[in-house]
Structure 1
Amino acid sequence: MSLRALTPMLRTPDLAASVAFYTQALDFRLSAGDVAGGWVSLARDGVELMLSGLNAHEGDVAPAFTGSLYLRTDDVDGWWHRLRERARVCYPIEDFAYGMREFAIYDNNGYLLQFGQPIAAFDPV
């Protein structure tokens, strides 16, 4: 018995705006579903993300999530230059003592997206 993937499902009050953010700012593509149906699946580089409208069964009234989505990349500086003016920044690009170079932005709903890349010369000792 094994797990094969983890695909986040983020809820949004404006599905069309969220699809626009992820397809225009991050170059995801629509792989299934549609805005009119209230659910979409997006993909890019083997990374998948699902978006849906708010869930009336659970009483959603606004987006809510206490964690973050951490996206590992091979060009964190390129992503920083692309996104720093397109999204609200949580923290700018920085090298961290735990061996990652990263930054974080918020999507159009306020979900935290972190982008990170290992620092090549990092020595954990």
Structure 2
Amino acid sequence: MSVTSPLLTALTPMLETPDLPGTRDFYTGVLGFTCTADTPEWLCLTLGPAELMFSGLNEHRGFTAPVFSGSLYFRTSDVDNLWVSLRDRVTVCYPIETFDYGMREFAIYDNNGYLLQFGQETE
């Protein structure tokens, strides 16, 4: 049985962090997200159509640090200006570059070590 797309209305990654206040401050103060919910156990952050949730480390899973093998890829309409506004305020994974597959992008790390990529389609 296949699932048809009308059943899904959004995707909100739920990531773990040992530092909820630091994560809130990074995403709101550095990236410009709005914190729409903030509890001692979790928080929700939004910027335009992008939404992320963070929880404290889950004692049932047994991790002592954030664990995620992929990246979060944000599409933007002005990657060059975003790069200029962030490059001196973050830890850079790779600087802005235009790739053969039609994207101009860069990547940074958040305060937890999660990889965040920002890209814009090239003409």
Q: Please classify the TM superposition score into its range, dividing by the shorter chain length.
A: over 0.9
Q: Which residue of 1 aligns with 2:44?
A: 41
TM-score after normalising by structure 1: 0.91
Q: CA deviation at 1:86?
A: 1.1
Q: CA deviation at 1:53?
A: 0.6
CA–CA distance in structure 1, aligned partners of residues 82 and 55 of structure 2: 25
Note the aligned Cα RMSD (angstroms): 0.9
CA–CA distance in structure 2, aligned partners of residues 109 and 33 of structure 1: 18
Q: Which residue of 1 aligns with 2:64?
A: 61
CA–CA distance in structure 1, aligned partners of residues 15 and 55 of structure 2: 6
2:101 aligned with 1:98? yes
Q: Which residue of 2 aligns with 1:123?
A: none
CA–CA distance in structure 2, aligned partners of residues 13 and 33 of structure 1: 15
Give the one of 85, 88, 103 matched to 2:88: 85
CA–CA distance in structure 2, aligned partners of residues 39 and 55 of structure 1: 11
Q: Which residue of 2 aligns with 1:112?
A: 115
Q: Percent identity?
A: 60
Q: Which residue of 2 aligns with 1:13?
A: 18
Provide the aligned length of Structure 1 versus Structure 2.
118
Q: Unaligned regions of 5+ residues in structure 2, if any?
A: 1-5
Q: Unaligned regions of 5+ residues in structure 1, if any?
A: 121-125
TM-score after normalising by structure 2: 0.93
What are the residue-to-residue correspondences of 1:65-76 with 2, within 5 Å?
Answer: 65-76=68-79
Q: CA deviation at 1:93?
A: 0.2
